[in-house]
Amino acid sequence: MTTPLRLGIAGLGTVGVGIVRIVQKHGDLLAARAGRPIEIVAVSARSKSKNRDVDLSGYAWEDDPVSLAARADIDVFVEVMGGHEGPAKDATEAAIAAGKDVVSANKALLAVHGQALAEAAEDAGRVIRFEAAVAGGIPVVKALTEGLAGNDITRVMGVMNGSCNYILTRMQDAGLSYEAVFDEANQLGYLEADPELDVGGIDAGHKLALLSSIAFGTQVDFDGVELEGIGSVTIEDINQAADMGYKIKLLGVAQLTGRGLEQRMSPCLVPDTSPLGQLEGGTNMVVLEGDAVNQIVLRGPGAGEGPTASAVMGDVMDIARGFRISTFGQPAGTLRKARPARAAVPAPYYLRMQLLDKPGALAKIAHALGEAGISIDRMRQYGHDDTSAPVLIVTHKTTRSALDEAIAAFGSTGVVAGDPVAIRIEAV
Amino acid sequence: MTTPLRLGIAGLGTVGVGIVRIVQKHGDLLAARAGRPIEIVAVSARSKSKNRDVDLSGYAWEDDPVSLAARADIDVFVEVMGGHEGPAKDATEAAIAAGKDVVSANKALLAVHGQALAEAAEDAGRVIRFEAAVAGGIPVVKALTEGLAGNDITRVMGVMNGSCNYILTRMQDAGLSYEAVFDEANQLGYLEADPELDVGGIDAGHKLALLSSIAFGTQVDFDGVELEGIGSVTIEDINQAADMGYKIKLLGVAQLTGRGLEQRMSPCLVPDTSPLGQLEGGTNMVVLEGDAVNQIVLRGPGAGEGPTASAVMGDVMDIARGFRISTFGQPAGTLRKARPARAAVPAPYYLRMQLLDKPGALAKIAHALGEAGISIDRMRQYGHDDTSAPVLIVTHKTTRSALDEAIAAFGSTGVVAGDPVAIRIEAV
Ligand SMILES: NC(=O)c1ccc[n+]([C@@H]2O[C@H](COP(=O)([O-])OP(=O)(O)OC[C@H]3O[C@@H](n4cnc5c(N)ncnc54)[C@H](OP(=O)(O)O)[C@@H]3O)[C@@H](O)[C@H]2O)c1
Ligand SMILES: NC(=O)c1ccc[n+]([C@@H]2O[C@H](COP(=O)([O-])OP(=O)(O)OC[C@H]3O[C@@H](n4cnc5c(N)ncnc54)[C@H](OP(=O)(O)O)[C@@H]3O)[C@@H](O)[C@H]2O)c1
């Protein structure tokens, strides 16, 4: 195979330009490794005139990514525009229909339309690869789909949104409120145009849904991800957690239980000595657990031009080397429909509430927990103002529904001011 | 492709039995993922009668692994016997000659004969895969060869011998001498029959040589690995290092420099807050650095039945899925001969010596360092007996040859008792 592999790249933003740079800089290296040259044939973006700091003069230009996708002179359609509808979807479908392989960095598109796209690709005998869509530069899709293919995967976990991890670590380091750090991150350009994609856990939820599908042989089910963003995490919770030896992370967890597939993306307490607990700033970390391998931990940059382009190029190189694999690791038609199980796996919880200064207040809370079958591991009252005091409780393992029941019962005790905060403590 | 992939397994020890267990337990899962069944056809070991706690009755038995390798009814020869000469080498060569693909866990064989085997495989149109040979269950060969194929790799580092890491962490935790922990580890069965393979850094050196070849496109060159075992690491050095915020690890580092390929496997000081510094016990960690991805860190079990068999099965699954790749990531004929460069990259060093109680002793040492062009970052004298005192020096960045020059000059000062200890401080 010495015929060149010809790429059409749709999108010339952060990622697209990164890909162009690698192909231009490492032509010889890529050809030596793939056994054939990698060439860019055509590109597309919204603005043809924008200065992108790379020389695009050697490539054909297409205003419309759909036309790019269908060009007779490309083998692989590289989709790095973004968005789960519109041009990204249209062009990806057009590429498959035109018999092209697809490499995509678009987690939103794949998390929402992954099953349909995988089926279409399979019917057309084409592959869709998406390493860059999950945890940026970390080759985690590859590790899970290929490296651990001999394992029954038992759990997948990950801190997969660098912006959220930045916000949470910065809150702790600087002792700042969520609102203050959010504004700071927004001004630094760390957040998506719609910040809810980041802080609402949606972006990380997309990634978790993709990993779940591969791990458990289920159809990608983003709607089945229990989503809770970091907006309700206070500096007080971060400090209290730290005091007890925990960090708060936006953690994704996917697990196949007897009751179905549990997928959660939510703030969790993790031990501060664990690899996940020690993760600072924008770095991502994914933990993969299987019956044979036990546990592997992968850590690296979750975003940025170089790392994301590196992941795209890994997929391109696989295709150049002739490697063809089903989108989610097994034929799309054999993926089972996931049965979502919400919070099926019990865990200890961190509970913080404001207790009114009334006789027997603590006893009433303890009673409500006991009635719901929840036992208390640690309890601590700290500080005190005129009429109330903050109380921290760490429960023993319980289900989320039992906890919700207890919290509902707190209301009628008349001793709790405001809403209690409940954060899961994940065993990592 | 629904024809089964037929395996012949040579070796039924820890790893071989692990593979049999996975194939027997996960037949359906493997078939669903590979699109075809994975079958064991024949096995070989020294003793046919040994009870191995798995049912081997369905497989043909071969006394001679060479005969197994050449059987007409196998597609893949799985070599999990070990040793860089003898049956492992003969059978691997026989398998290639007979047109079989090879999956091997044997780092010794590949580090010593990898180039010749890769050339033979290429001539025969077969593949050799060896994920299990490096860092056990961590899919690091895959991450480097495939996932990071778009990167110019700038550095590879790793703690890749669990027994050494166990010994070093146990020394620190229990305050025990090297000798005491060595005996303990040996009794627990943690060390190879020839313990020098572990504590001499040979086993880890084999792994580093394999990663280097892939990373830098050079012929595997185990002889070019500068080897230093952990036998000279004292509890005193561990404690002094800890005091300054460092851990001592048996660390492999490979780097292509202007002067050639530097490959070192030696005790190093690393910051105790770094991922490498935090690695406890038998776990392995590999750090891969590339120009696009920056840095990724992979962590997991470096040995044991399940993890190692998991890695073997990853390779088997790739072959079942039709993925064919050159042994070291590019055609064997295009791998350049490595030009070994010993300790080319400067670093700060930790120096410990016993200084005689003579006037101007410290000044003489400082002078000798200065003459060799080495400046001092920190110096500390601690404790004191009747005639001498231990002195610790942390130098600024220097080359190993300048340091050796200075240490040689210490001799003629007449103020140093015994041999100074010098340990590199690696920036990780
Ligand atoms: N950035 C990261 O670190 C990162 C990491 C992992 C995954 N991803 C994913 O990679 C994808 C691209 O991200 P990015 O950060 O590179 O985005 P970006 O910087 O916003 O770039 C998007 C590119 O797509 C082009 N584009 C948008 N709509 C188009 C249309 N209708 N027709 C043609 N071109 C269109 C834009 O053209 P103009 O330049 O002319 O406006 C721009 O070049 C997204 O799916 C994202 O989720 C990004
Ligand atoms: N163990 C690990 O965690 C690990 C991790 C990574 C890589 N590896 C590598 O994997 C390989 C196997 O390791 P292991 O731990 O499984 O070794 P092991 O437990 O010592 O087993 C070796 C097996 O090879 C068989 N064998 C030895 N010489 C033979 C011969 N001449 N003909 C036929 N069979 C022969 C032995 O037969 P009998 O049982 O009849 O004596 C035994 O079943 C080695 O290359 C090792 O470096 C091991």
- For residue B379, what is the domain's CATH number? 3.30.70.260
What is the number of the ligand closest to the CA of B162? Answer: 2
pLDDT in the model for residue B157? 98
Picking from A97-101, A386-390, B159-163, which range would have the lowest pLDDT averaged per residue? Answer: A386-390
CB within 8 A of B88, min separation 6: which ones? B10, B65, B79, B81, B82, B106, B109
The answer to whether residue A418 sits within a structural domain is: yes
Give pLDDT, residue A357.
87
Q: Catalogue the E-assigned strands of A258-301.
A: 260-271, 283-290, 294-301
Closest CA to A103 of A77, A81, A123: A77
Distance of alpha carbon A174 from alpha carbon B410, whole angstroms = 48
Torsion over CA: A184, A189, A192, A197 (sign): negative
Neighbouring residues of A40: CB distance < 8 A, sequence distance ≥ 6? A6, A7, A8, A9, A19, A20, A23, A58, A59
A316-345: b or e for each residue (b if 16 or more CB lie within 10 Å)?
bbbbbbebebbbbbbebeebeebebbebbb
User: Does A146 share its domain with A123?
Assistant: no
Q: How many CB atoms lie within 10 A of CB B158?
A: 29
* Cβ of A137 less than 6 Å from ligand 1: no
Write down which residue in B81, B104, B133 finishes a domain. Answer: B133
A165 touches ligand 1 (CB under 6 Å): no
Whole-number pLDDT of residue A343:
74
In angstroms, the CA A43 to CA A14 distance is 14
SS3 content of chain B, % helix, strand, coil (to 5): 40, 25, 35
State the DSSP string of B22-75: HHHH-HHHHHHHHSS-EEEEEEE-S-SS---SS--TTSEEESSHHHHHH-TT-S
Q: Which two tokens stand for residue A405?
A: 């029941």
Distance of CA B122 to the CA centre of its chain: 25
In a domain, B320, yes or no: no
Whether the CB-CB separation of B312 and B19 falls below 8 Å is answered with: yes
Task: Quote the CA–CA distance of B428 and A129 in Å, as a whole number.
Answer: 32
On the 0-12 / 13-18 / 19+ scale of CB atoms within 10 A, B35 is middle
Q: Do A35 and A170 fall within a single domain?
A: no
List, as ranges, residues 370-389 from B with C-beta within 8 Å of A. none
- Span B178-188, pLDDT tens digits: 999 999 999 99
Based on the fold, state whether residues B167 and B33 are members of the same structural domain: no
Q: Which two tokens stand for residue B358?
A: 């003579």
Contact A292 B18 (CB under 8 A): yes
Predicted confidence band at A101 (pLDDT cuts at 50, 70, 90)? very high
Tell me if residue A25 is catalytic.
no
Strands (E), B302-427: 349-356, 376-381, 388-395, 416-425
Any domain includes B344 = no
Confidence at A382, pLDDT banded by 50, 70, 90: confident
Q: Are B395 and B376 in contact (CB under 8 A)?
A: yes
CB contact under 8 A, B299 and A275: yes
Tell whether B27 lies on the interface with A, counting CB pairs under 8 A.
no
| Residue tagged 């040995």 (tokens) | B303
Asked if A68 and A43 touch (Cβ cutoff 8 Å), the reply is yes
- A 10 A CB-CB count for B417 gives 15
Report CA torsion sign: B359, B364, B365, B370.
positive
The phi, psi pair for A41, rounded to 5°, reads -105, -40
Q: Do A35 and B330 touch (CB under 8 A)?
A: yes
Q: How many C-beta atoms surround the C-beta of residue A175 within 10 A?
A: 11
Judge whether A405 and A349 are in contact, CB under 8 Å: no
Does the C-beta of A13 come closer than 6 Å to ligand 1? yes
Low-confidence ranges of chain B (pLDDT < 50): none
Q: Starting from the CA of residue A69, give the closest ligand.
A: 1
Nearest to A139 among B147, B292, B330 (CB): B147
- Residue A308 Cβ contacting ligand 1 at under 6 Å: yes
Global ipTM: 0.95
A114 lines ligand 1 (CB under 6 A): no
pTM for the whole structure: 0.96
Question: Is residue B315 included in any domain, yes or no?
Answer: no
Among B307, B317, B326, beta carbon nearest to A146: B317
Range 152-181 of A in CB contact (< 8 A) with B: 152
Residue B310 lies in a domain: no
Convert the pLDDT of each residue in A333-367 to its tens digit. Answer: 999 998 999 877 899 999 999 999 888 899 999 99
Residue of B24, B151, B305 best to disrupt the A interface, most CBs of A under 10 A = B151
The Cα–Cα gap between B324 and A289 comes to 27
Contact B309 A139 (CB under 8 A): no
Higher-confidence residue of B237 and A428: namely B237
**What pLDDT is attached to residue B357?**
87
Residue of B nearest to A34 (CA): B330
Residue B157 · residue B286 · CB < 8 Å: yes
Asked if B129 contacts B122 with a C-beta cutoff of 8 angstroms, the reply is: no
Which residue among B22, B81, B113 has the greatest number of ligand 2 atoms within 8 angstroms of its CB, and so is best to mutate? B81
Residue A310 lies in a domain: no
Q: What is the pLDDT of residue A308?
A: 98
**In-domain check, residue B354:** yes
Among residues B133, B163, B198, which one ends one of the domains? B133
Which residue has tokens 């500390």? B380
Nearest-CB residue to B301 (from A293, A299, A310):
A293
Query: In chain B, whose CA is at the least distance from the CA of A22?
Result: B150
B275/A311 Cβ within 8 A: no
- Closest Cα partner for A157 from A259, A288, A329? A288
Tell me how far apart the alpha carbons of residues A74 and A68 are, in angstroms, rounded to a whole number: 8
DSSP 8-state symbol, A292 = T
Question: Quick one: which atom of ligand 1 is closest to the CA of A16?
Answer: 16
Please state, in angstroms and rounded to a whole number, the distance separating the CA atoms of residues A150 and A404: 39
Query: What is the Cα B247 distance to its own chain's centre?
Result: 19
User: Quick one: average pLDDT of A405-425?
Assistant: 93
Those of residues 205-224 in A touching chain B at CB distance below 8 A are: 217
Share of chain A above pLDDT 90, in %: 91
Burial of B385 (0-12, 13-18, 19+ CB in 10 A): exposed
Q: Provide the CATH number for the domain around residue A166.
A: 3.30.360.10
The owner of tokens 């989709």 is A79
A65 lines ligand 1 (CB under 6 A): yes
The three-class DSSP label of residue A423 is strand
Is the separation of the CB atoms in B261 and B224 below 8 Å? yes
B108 and B159, same domain (yes or no): no
Cβ density class A348-381: b for 16+ within 10 Å, e for less: bbbbbbbbeeeeebbebbbebbeebebeeeeeee
Q: Are residues A186 and A295 in the same domain?
A: yes
B343 touches chain A (CB under 8 A): no
* Cβ neighbours of B330 in A, within 8 Å: 32-33, 35
Range of the domain at A247: 140-302+328-334
Q: Which residues of A touch B26 (CB under 8 A)?
A: 150, 152
* B-chain residue closest to A32, CA distance: B330
Specify the pLDDT at position A1: 53
Same domain, B122 and B191: no
Residue B32: list chain A partners with CB under 8 A. 217, 330-331, 334
- Do B161 and B295 lie in a common domain? yes
Q: Is B114 left (phi over 0), alpha (psi -120 to 50) or beta?
A: alpha
Tell me, yes or no, whether B361 and B221 share the same domain: no
Among B14, B85, B131, residue to substitute to test ligand 2 (most atoms within 8 Å of Cβ) = B14
Q: Is the dihedral of CA B82, B83, B84, B88 positive or negative?
A: negative
- One DSSP character per residue, A343-398 reads T-S-B-EEEEEEEES-TTHHHHHHHHHHHTT--EEEEEE----SSEEEEEEEE-SB
* Confidence class for position A81, pLDDT limits 50, 70, 90: very high
* Per-state percent for chain A, helix, strand, coil, to nearest 5: 40, 25, 35
Domain termination residue (choose one: B133, B165, B197): B133
Do residues A147 and A271 both lie within one domain?
yes
Residue B143 CA, ligand 1 centroid: distance in Å: 25
**Which residues are paired to B340 by β-bridges?**
B261
Q: pLDDT tens for residues A259-270?
A: 899 999 999 999
- Determine the Cα–Cα distance for residues B113 and B119; give it in Å rounded to an integer: 10
Instruction: Please count the CA atoms within 13 angstroms of the CA of A266 that sit on its side-chain side.
Output: 19
Q: How many domains does chain A have?
A: 3
Q: Are A125 and A25 within one domain? A: yes
CATH number at residue A54: 3.40.50.720
Query: What single DSSP character describes residue A326?
Result: -
For residues B222 and B117, membership in a common domain is answered with no
- Same domain membership, residue B149 and residue B127: no
Residues of chain A contacting B318 with CB distance shorter than 8 Å = 146, 149
DSSP state of B424: E
Å between A191 CA and nearest CA of chain B:
21
Contacts with A310 from chain B: Cβ below 8 Å: 148, 150-151, 290, 292-293
The number of the ligand nearest the C-alpha atom of A305 reads 1
Entry field: residues in chain B = 428
Taking CB atoms and an 8 Å cutoff, what residues of chain A touch B33? Answer: 149, 217, 329-330
- Residue B409 is assigned to a structural domain of this protein: yes
Q: Which of A33, A256, A297 has the highest number of chain B CBs within 10 A, making it the mutation to test binding with B?
A: A33
Going edge to edge, which strands form the sheet with A5-10?
A60-62, A38-44, A5-10, A76-79, A101-104, A128-129
Report CB contact under 8 Å: A296, B26: no
A143 close to B (CB below 8 A) = yes
Question: According to the model, what pLDDT value does residue B303 have?
Answer: 94
- Name which of B150, B300, B323 is nearest A26 (Cβ-Cβ): B150
Amino acid occupying residue A362:
L
The residue ranges of DSSP E strands in A89-147, in sequence order, are 101-104, 128-129
Contacts of B76 (CB under 8 A, 6+ apart): B5, B6, B7, B8, B100, B101, B102, B103, B316, B319
Cβ of B309 within 8 Å of Cβ of A292? The answer is yes
